[in-house]
Structure 1
Amino acid sequence: MSDAGTPYANLDPDRILDAVESLGLHADGRVLALNSYENRVYRIGIEGGAPLVAKFYRPGRWSDEAIGEEHAFAAELAAADLSVVAPLAFGGRTLHAFGGHRFALFPLRGGHAPELGDRDTLTHLGRVLGRLHAVGAAKPFAHRGELTIESHGEDPVHFLLEGGWLPPELEHNFETLAESLLDAMDAAWERAGEVATLRLHGDCHPGNILWREGQAHFVDLDDCLTGPAVQDLWMLAGRREDGPRAWQWLLEGYEQFRAFDRRELHLVEALRTLRLLHHNAWIARRWSDPAFPPAFPWFEAPRHWESVITQMQEQLAALHEPPPDPR
């Protein structure tokens, strides 16, 4: 297997095609890299058939059991007649190994991101997520992670500070703000109380939803995990200044299939804060991967970290405001 810092160094087009053909398929030689940094994802031309998508998992990130749960969750959702792009089975298996890499093949699906300002679209998305969560609540994950303040807040903060990613003149400000944010997020969870957790999509932003012919098709369950239902909703509801209308429309659809505990709305700004911290630590953790510096050239610039601190200040203020009030 390739070095941890350059896990895809030996994943050239020939090896990609050999991996696909090891499953008995005949590729036509066309390999197109798709937009993905955590894993490597390619559109593969197939002789006499529709193109497929090959996803090569980042070595060392997930265990085989955790990937198996991702695939099983996708299969459950598809069996419940939800439009989820699930992996294809070859020889009864969906996860395969070749040349030191683990990979899966998926059907190619087209579409575009949904228009989130539209009532019909948001209501439809709410209905689909209500159905998705009804499946997700049926049983727990055993091998996937859980969304917590420790995993997505404390750990990222410690990694960024201990790794020296902050410009020295900004370290103290970042650390002080981070401590205040962690306290404010703890308080938000206390206000929410004992909220239920379930299996989630986990990264339910508009880019992971293909909108086609008035229907939502969900892709990329790579970040599926255990957490509160609101995690799959808040990224579709816009910013605070958008008002409660988007929440009203989302929940109008959601509650046709599953009750939503409105106490979870106390977690919206905490979850937004966790995403900010986790995202920056994710880039830092992957910086030795040659794909990351060209993709995020601004990451080491002081101006970026000044912007992060500004966002942290905004989130600290937001965490002291009332939650959204969809009526």
Structure 2
Amino acid sequence: MSEPAPDSFESLDPDTILNAVEHHTGLFLDGSLTPFNSYINRVYGVTDEEGNRYVVKFYRNYRWSDEALADEHIFLNDCTNFEIPVPITLGESPVGRSGGFRFSVFPRISGRTFDIESDEDWIRSGALIGRVHAAGRLKKAPHRTLCDPEHTTGQYINRLIAEKIVHPDCLSEFSAVCTESLERAKRAYRACAGSGADWGRIHGDCHRGNILRKSDGTLTILDFDDMMTGPAIQDLWLLLPGHLEDSRRELNLMLEGYEEFCSFDRPSAELVESLRFMRQIYFLNWCALQRNDPLFAERNPGWGEKAFWIRETGDLETQLDFLA
């Protein structure tokens, strides 16, 4: 029988972490432990007795099923088979278990955040994502999130309201802007459906902080924790410097690199502002899942209070103006 899954990370102490890594990988660690910034999971740096450095990620329980975690690691393995530089796990299985927690261990990748400063940088970033998507279209990820307004974003909105997470004084305005935005997002998706928009396994959270430039100049993409099934444009728009109307040049440069490795349905670029709204809701739901975690409360004072929901509702109203 498997151990019960803890509701929080409070029982995750240094000995538990180090022993779990050693047992899962066969490594002999030097006993050092460095916590890294991570919101929904717990991530630590460890070092073996020979000075090699690793990262261990303990997954938040109840967020992903075992099958969903398997989908993530199958995707990573497919990327590796395409010679795409991504983190690949150590141990006999991608996911280990200890004390009711699930975790994975990776070699630590050193590098700097990839600052996109030139046309060539935009092309390179698009090429990297195109390679990832070429691997992503090999298989499906049936247990992961579907990047779709009706089946995912709508559920998140309903949860935020039904569980009374939204402050009651802001509920009417929040509900109104979400209802209108959701309808416009659905309309944008329907408009793209007939154009054969390219869907597949995607990274899902491809912002600049998840692309590193290594010392040899190689680009590597990190953190597939939010991988999902969705349109290709989801992994491109997060890198843009602003709204779509102000960023078409940068998008076209990215597509120049992207289309060397993977086809792209050009009309689906018009989903960018709908996807921006959907990400706002996704992030609110993501934070709501953690709201009772003491570390989250410490890092996010005032989350969920009236002033917070006034700001969030205002941001949603601003975004509504960009939705057709």
Where on the TM-score scale, by shorter chain, does this alignment land: which range? over 0.9
The residue number in structure 2 matching 1:34 is 36
Show the counterpart of 2:238.
235
Normalising by the residue count of structure 2, what TM-score does the alignment of the two structures yield?
Answer: 0.93
Taking a change above 3 Å as real, the CA distance of residues 274 and 211 of structure 1, as seen in their structure-2 partners, is same
1:82-105: per-residue Cα shift (whole Å, max 9, x none)?
Answer: 1111212x2x32211112111111
C-alpha change, 1:100 and 1:236, in structure 2 (3 Å) is same
1:299 corresponds to which of 300, 303, 308: 303
Q: Is the 8 A contact 1:177 1:312 kept in 2?
A: yes
Question: What residue identity is the alignment partner of 2:145?
Answer: G
TM-score normalized by the length of structure 1? 0.92
Greater shift, 11-20 or 205-214, is seen at: 205-214
8 Å contact kept, 1:184–1:319:
yes
Distance in 2 between residues matched to 1:11 and 1:233, nearest whole Å: 36
Distance 1:196 1:52 in 2: 35
Query: 2:77 is paired with a residue of what secondary structure?
Result: helix
Cα shift at 1:117: 4.1
Q: Cα deviations across residues 196-243 of structure 1 (Å, max 9, x unaligned)?
A: 310111111111111224332111111111111111111012212643
Structure 1's unaligned 5+ residue stretches are: 321-327
CA positional deviation for 1:2? 5.1
How far 1:113 sits from its partner (Å)? 2.0
User: Contact conserved, 1:74 with 1:85, CA < 8 A, in 2?
Assistant: yes
From 56, 59, 65, the equivalent of 2:58 is 56
How far residue 127 of structure 1 moved from its aligned partner, in angstroms, is: 0.7
Matching of residues 187-226 of structure 1 within 5 Å: 187-194=187-194, 195-213=197-215, 214-226=217-229
Q: 2:82 aligns with which of 75, 80, 83?
A: 80
Residue 114 of structure 1: aligned partner: 114
Q: Residue type matched to 1:249 in 2?
A: L
Distance apart, 1:269 and its partner CA? 0.6
8 Å contact kept, 1:94–1:104:
yes
| Greater mean alpha carbon deviation, residues 171-180 or residues 294-303 | 294-303
Say whether residues 1:256 and 2:257 are aligned partners.
no
- In the alignment, the residues of structure 1 paired with residue 140 and residue 5 of structure 2 have an alpha-carbon distance, to the nearest angstrom, of 33
Q: Distance in 1 between matches of 2:18 and 2:295?
A: 21
Q: Which runs of 5+ in 2 are unaligned?
A: none
- Give the distance between the partners of 1:278 and 1:71, measured in 2 at CA: 22
State the distance in 2 between where 1:14 and 1:34 align.
17
Q: 2 CA distance for matches of 1:291 and 1:151?
A: 30
- Offset, 1:151: 4.4
Q: Distance in 2 between matches of 1:300 and 1:56?
A: 26
Aligned residue for 1:199, secondary structure, equals strand
Distance 2:269 2:203 in 1: 18
SS at match of 2:97: strand
Alignment partners' CA distance in 2, 1:120 and 1:304: 40
For residue 68 of structure 2, the aligned residue among 48, 55, 66 is 66
Cα 1:167–1:69 change in 2 (3 A) is closer
1-structure distance, mates of 2:205, 2:248: 22
Q: Which moved more, 1:254-263 or 1:141-150?
A: 141-150
Shift of 1:149: 0.9
Alpha-carbon distance in structure 2 between the residues aligned to 1:19 and 1:190: 47
| Aligned-residue RMSD, C-alpha | 1.6
Alignment match, 2:289: 285
Once the two structures are TM-superposed, the CA of residue 304 in structure 1 deviates from its matched residue by: 2.2
Change (3 A) 1:118 1:242: farther
Q: Aligned partner of 2:123: which letter? A: T
